[in-house]
Amino acid sequence: MLMKIVDLRGFIWEDNEHLLRIKNRGELLSEEFETTVKEIITNVKQKGDKALIEYTNRFDKANISNPKELEVPYSELKKAYESISSDLREALEFAAARIKKFHKQQLEQSFFTYEENGVILGQKVSPLERVGVYVPGGKAQYPSTVLMNTIPAKVAGVSEIVMVSPNPNLATLAAAFIAGVDRVYRIGGAQAVAALAFGTEIVPKVDKIVGPGNIYVALAKKLLYGTVDIDMVAGPSEILVIADETANPAWVAADLLSQAEHDELAGAFCITNSFEMALKIKEEIENQLKTLKRKEIAEKSIERWGTIFIVENLEEACRLANEIAPEHLEIATANPWELLPKIKHAGAIFLGAYATEPLGDYVLGPNHTLPTGGSARFYSPLGVYDFLKRSSVIYVSKEGFEKVKDPAKVIAEYEGLEAHKKAIEIRENF
């Protein structure tokens, strides 16, 4: 049986082993992979470009002997832009314009407030100086990922954007040209993440690494956090659809498969208050799978995670969706806006039958780099705010000092920090 149907009506959810497994799906980053990733990180840190060449030749079937061959000349980006079909070029330009327009609304401004007695307090907002963007290049090529991860950084004002991708094709390089990437390297995997984190002779050290990747990439980002900042530890893609009796089962099935085809570990979940709808969606999935080009990948994904939950009502459906906290949540019901206030945890929320998730992947504008594995409970989509940092600005005049010094001394004394108190007292008689 491919798509599982789990009836939760009348049962205590916490007792359902399958639901518990789904809720714990973010624990896939196992020690088995961690040992390998740690070894790769250590080698890149110690050997630099030599290690990069070794791993690139081994994993990406390349034949590189000189580190300079790892960098893609900027002229190739423009050449790729001119070489792709006009349809694809126009589509990427269309998407880029919408992504830029949406993310401009996320810009933050510095501010200053003046208090009486000579205290000025504020916050200075500054962009990061150099950012690394990881773009997958294994099972498929993703020019959309280039746009989604680079354009918010450009909007934020990042000075230099460095992209890494194993074997990038023309579309990926063309997207890099459109988005404004400054440097591109033909490297991937944990070794590319390590190179960005530490820097090598050929690859510059960055302040932050963003972008999705396989389990090796995700683990490398997790292990190197602190040496470098990261966006999030992103796992396999996932979707959850809340569907009532008015939903089109063929459309729901197509949307579930749109994520299942990404990866054998991708998650496709559905919640409905209709047993008949559950059966129809299951049947549609099995029928649509037969003609899918990536059938083998989608089939394994559905077999591993694919689940249709049946609940009493839509209120329960929202409560269950919050328990799962999906990357993508579609609400395919008669009145989707009524359910929106009940949703607490989701990376992106799609409302209505026509709001199919793939539109969000490409052209709508909001970012498609989203929290997975239940981390939507505490992470947000990638945005301009990820490429900004904030510094507090504090000015205190003599008059302002007199106003605040005494309470500060009391707290310093209570905490037993004598030098703190003295640093205040030494200014009192001047």
Tell me the catalytic residues. 327-328
What the block records as the tokens of 336 is: 């989707």
Query: What angle separates helix 398-415 from helix 418-425, to the nearest 10 degrees?
Result: 160
Backbone φ, ψ for residue 258 (5° rounding): -60, -25
Backbone φ, ψ for residue 346 (5° rounding): -165, 145
Backbone φ, ψ for residue 332 (5° rounding): -105, 75
Between the CA of residue 370 and those of 103, 112, 318, 375, what are the distances in Å?
Answer: 15, 33, 20, 9
Q: CB-based contacts of 274: which residues, under 8 Å, 6+ apart?
A: 243, 244, 245, 310
